[in-house]
Amino acid sequence: MNIHKITNEALAAIFEEMADLLELSGENTFRVRAYRNGAMAIASLASPVADMIASGVDLSDIEGIGSTLAEKSKVIVETGHLPQLEKLRQEVPRGLRDLMRIPGLGAKKAMKLHQELGVLDLASLRDACQRGAVAAIKGFGEKTQQSILQNMDIVEKASKRLAIDVADALVTRLRAHFQECPAINQIEFAGSYRRCKETVGDLDILVTSDSPTAVMDRFAEFPAIQEILARGETKMSVRISDAFQIDMRVVEPDAWGAALQYFTGSKEHNVHVRSLAKSKGLKVNEYGVFDANDESRLVAGKTEQEVYQVLGLPWIPPELRENRREFASDAASRIAHLIRWEDIQGDLHMHTTATDGENTLEEMVQAAKDSGLQYIAITDHSKRVSVARGLDEAKLIEQWRAIDALNQKLAGAFHVFKGIECDILEEGPLDLSDDCLRQADWVTASIHFGQKQSRDQITDRIVRAIAHPCVHSISHPTGRLISRRNPYDVDMTAVVQAAKEYKKCLEINANPERLDLNDIMAANAADAGVLLVINTDAHSVSHFALMKYGVQVARRAGLSKDQVLNTRSLSAFREWLAQHTVRS
């Protein structure tokens, strides 16, 4: 049997494309979903599907992969292509895949635009909007045309940048790939990835080596590479997937620190570093710090620490290098107290199978304990969120009884707080009765509906929720989904002020799709004296690991652990609750 060495990533991409093209051609949602689930399942497998098939594994035994997809995987691995996909590609223009990702458009409308106006891709859609042709189609109108134009930017940007967790998975694979290259002495991933930005435009790899050729040969063997864009003596750039680029530079060991500092950026941070150097009679570039009067004299460069030190600066954690306040006079103490993942003791937003979570209460508790937490709050959805089978008062109280029983068994070693993610209804009030909410240990309120309301309406809804005596916190306060949906129109200054006044928390939602509040807003809230809470919003046991991304946002915001509620020990958190909960 002939086996094609197709990567899991490429296989998953084929099924993703199948799903998109099927959806565009009006295929029923179950079939479309089977392809999407299969793509996700394959992308998260640890070993290559090609190897599994070669050794006779039946893929349909894997959760998320049905018999049809198992069969198609086999065809792809054995023949290198999938006839159904090739047929679909002839019937449906591929550019429509971008169109269906525009918020508010979807597959049906994208196809309609194609049929009525001959739109093929983002560029021709923009053109049609600007001509006013879209507004003229039945079911679209002026307003839709406007919102398409606005939302196109999101898709255009998204197609070029990777979400932080996707970049993370790629880096893990690259690290493993380079593990097997003895020619590498040091390796680091610099740029926005090292600064933990929420999306990454490209990866910037730095290495030191006695044999740059061997390193670049190894790089060239990375399976996901689609094209080598450039290769020189010590520099190489490649492209993976449609547009994502990875740059690699081999640098001298004596310049390692200087290169790392330079290529970590940000550009704005480096501009300030260079001017600071100038004022001290020094010159900084990617090769080192030099005496400005005698540029052959190297002052520092081997480590980042010494580069910063000769400039009179503490070593600045990469997350802070955005030229915001890392050069301020209080920076050293801020850096010394910067929050770390280990500081997190609890997680106060998560879901179970009672609503749209994938794991039971017991499974979530076990996983939380295993991940080293002391306490969690279970916060399933309230009834308004019917797509997630939200809980009414009776069902919620039933869940709380189960939690009481579980806490008895846990006997103080770990505590589960009885919580709820209570929907803030379109008209303003909360989704559950005060009588019910008063029995909760922890109430977080959030908006899921009416996101297109005016700034005043949305702000008013959130401020009212903050003022509600039973509410402790607001979850994902701006509602944005990175690269997919803009935040709703909300006056964050008013929200922060209300949170301060009523002593309520604002969430940093750690899900990499949300990261809401973002770094800048979290910093503003903390400056105003508002306590933050970093939650995973876990919908499965694997999501506890997402806490890392929330902590990264908090670090980029310059927060200390005192500014984050769930860094408190179980007893200290209980104390806080006692002071901030109204029981009657």
Interface residues with ligand DGT (CB under 6 A)?
191-192, 197, 200-202, 204, 262-263, 265-267, 270
> Residue 263 binds what, of Ca ion, Zn ion, ligand DGT, none (CB under 5 to 8 Å, by partner type)?
ligand DGT
| Cα–Cα distance, 572 to 440 (Å, whole number) | 18
- Verify binding: residue 191, Ca ion, rule CB under 5 A: yes
Minimum distance from residue 265 beta carbon to ligand DGT (Å) = 2
- Work out the burial of residue 250: count CB atoms within 10 Å of its CB; fewer than 13 is exposed, 13-18 middle, 19 or more buried: buried
Question: With respect to Zn ion, which residue has the nearer C-beta, 249 or 476?
Answer: 476
Stretch that binds Zn ion, among 216-224, 363-371, 487-495, 532-540 (CB under 5 A): 532-540
Nearer to ligand DGT, 125 or 553 (CB): 553
Instruction: Answer yes or no: are the C-beta atoms of 330 and 340 closer than 8 Å.
Output: no
Decide which of Zn ion, ligand DGT, Ca ion, none touches 198; Cβ closer than 5 to 8 Å per partner kind: none
Choose between 201 and 450: whose C-beta lies nearer to ligand DGT: 201
What is the pattern of x (binds Ca ion, CB under 5 A) and - over residues 199-218? ---x-x--------------
Q: Is 247 in the site for Ca ion (CB under 5 A)?
A: yes
What whole-number distance in Å separates Cα of residue 518 and Cα of residue 508? 7
User: Nearest distance from residue 318's CB to ligand DGT, in Å?
Assistant: 10
Asked whether the beta carbons of 311 and 258 are under 8 A apart, the reply is no
Give whichever of 6 and 284 is closer to ligand DGT, judged by the CB atom: 284
265 binds, among ligand DGT, Ca ion, Zn ion, none (CB under 5 to 8 A by kind): ligand DGT
φ, ψ for residue 261 (rounded to 5)? -60, -45
Count helices and strands (H / E) in the chain.
24, 17
Q: DSSP secondary structure string, 16-54?
A: HHHHHHHHHTT--HHHHHHHHHHHHHHHT-SS-HHHHHH
> 161 and 483 in contact (C-beta within 8 Å)?
yes
519 binds, among Ca ion, Zn ion, ligand DGT, none (CB under 5 to 8 A by kind): none
Which range of residues in 181-189, 303-311, 428-436, 537-545 is near Zn ion by CB under 5 A? 537-545
Which burial class, exposed, middle or buried, applies to 132 when counting CB atoms under 10 A from its CB (0-12, 13-18, 19+)? exposed
- Three-class DSSP category at 284: strand
Q: Using the minimum distance from each CB to ligand DGT, give the nearer residue, 247 or 347.
A: 247
Under the criterion CB under 5 A, does residue 516 sit at the interface with Ca ion?
A: no
* Residue 318 near Ca ion by CB under 5 A: no
Q: Is 60 left (phi over 0), alpha (psi -120 to 50) or beta?
A: alpha
Report how many residues bind Ca ion under the rule CB under 5 A.
5
Shortest gap between Cβ of 346 and Zn ion (angstroms)? 16
Cβ proximity to Ca ion, 202 vs 516, nearer residue: 202
DSSP state for residue 206 in the 8-state scheme: E
Angle between helices 8-24 and 83-91 (to 10 degrees): 40
445: closest CA among 427, 459, 425, 460? 425
Is residue 431 close enough to count as binding Zn ion by CB under 5 A?
Answer: no
Other beta carbons within 10 Å of 47: 10
Shortest reach from residue 270's CB to ligand DGT, in Å: 4
Least distance from Zn ion to the Cβ atom of residue 494, Å: 23
Q: By CB under 5 A, is residue 421 in contact with Zn ion? A: yes
Give the one entry of Ca ion, ligand DGT, Zn ion, none that residue 421 binds, where binding means its C-beta sits below a cut-off of 5 to 8 angstroms depending on kind: Zn ion
Residue facing Ca ion at closest CB distance: 191
Shortest distance (Å) from residue 202 CB to Ca ion: 4
Distance, CA of 176 to CA of 180 (rounded, Å): 7
Site size for Zn ion (CB under 5 A) = 2
- The piece of 92-100, 194-202, 289-297, 356-364 that touches Ca ion (CB under 5 A) is 194-202
Supply 274's token pair.
């260079």
Query: Which of Zn ion, ligand DGT, Ca ion, none interacts with 168 (beta carbon under 5 to 8 A by kind)?
Result: none
The one segment of 101-109, 353-361, 418-426, 448-456 that binds Zn ion by CB under 5 A: 418-426
Which of 471, 537, 538, 563 lies at the binding interface for Zn ion (CB under 5 A)? 537
Q: What are φ and ψ of residue 419, in 5° steps? A: -125, 180
Nearest to 11 by CA among 41, 33, 31: 41
DSSP string, 417-442: EEEEEEEB-TTSSBSS-HHHHTT-SE
> Would you count residue 322 as binding Ca ion (CB under 5 A)?
no
CB 189 within 8 A of CB 202: no
If the CB atoms of residues 270 and 567 are measured against ligand DGT, the closer one turns out to be 270
- Phi, psi (degrees; rounded to nearest 5) at 403: -70, -40
CB of 259 to ligand DGT, least distance (A): 10
What is the separation of C-alpha 563 from the centre of its chain, rounded to a whole number of angstroms? 22
Cα–chain center distance at 42: 20
Nearer of residues 178 and 189 to ligand DGT, judged by Cβ: 189
Nearer to Zn ion, 261 or 478 (CB): 478
Min separation Cβ 276 and ligand DGT, Å: 14
**Which residues would be at the binding site for Ca ion (CB under 5 A)?**
191-192, 202, 204, 247
**Which residues would be at the binding site for Zn ion (CB under 5 A)?**
421, 537
